[in-house]
């Protein structure tokens, strides 16, 4: 099953800033996006639901230092991107 990836303008702005600051992560970022589209449950993504003020959102790892916050709507097979950055930046 292929998921529909939704990139709101706010997220795209943050992603551009993130990749400009961390150009060496471009390939890892692209791989993360590809895996999410094909299989959000892939073990290397380390997908997990968040709680507290982020209840309703999930997180995946670009690598051990950087995360992408997501809203996953299973009924419509949609993944909405919310934020990207280090653990401290996104949480």
| 32 contacts 52 by C-beta, under 8 angstroms | no
In this predicted structure, the answer to whether residue 16 has a pLDDT above a threshold of 90 is yes
In this predicted structure, the answer to whether residue 81 has a pLDDT above a threshold of 90 is yes
In this predicted structure, the answer to whether residue 74 has a pLDDT above a threshold of 80 is no
User: How many residues are recorded in the chain?
Assistant: 91
Q: What percent of the chain has pLDDT over 70?
A: 100
Question: What pLDDT band is residue 40 in, cutting at 50, 70 and 90?
Answer: very high
> How many domains, in total, are found in the chain?
1
In this predicted structure, the answer to whether residue 44 has a pLDDT above a threshold of 80 is yes
Domain that holds residue 80: 4-90
Report the pLDDT value the prediction gives residue 35, as an integer from 0 to 100.
Answer: 95
Cα 37 to Cα 8: distance, rounded to the nearest angstrom: 16
CATH of the domain at 30: 3.30.2310.20
């Amino acid at each position: 099953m292929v998921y529909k990836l939704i990139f709101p303008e706010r997220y795209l702005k943050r992603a551009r800033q993130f990749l400009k600051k961390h150009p060496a992560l471009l390939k890892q970022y692209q791989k993360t996006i590809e895996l999410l589209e094909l299989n959000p449950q892939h073990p290397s993504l380390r997908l997990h639901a968040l709680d507290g003020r982020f209840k309703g959102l999930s997180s995946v790892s670009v690598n051990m230092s950087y995360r992408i916050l997501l809203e996953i709507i299973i009924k419509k097979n949609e993944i909405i991107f919310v934020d990207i950055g280090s653990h401290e930046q996104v949480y």
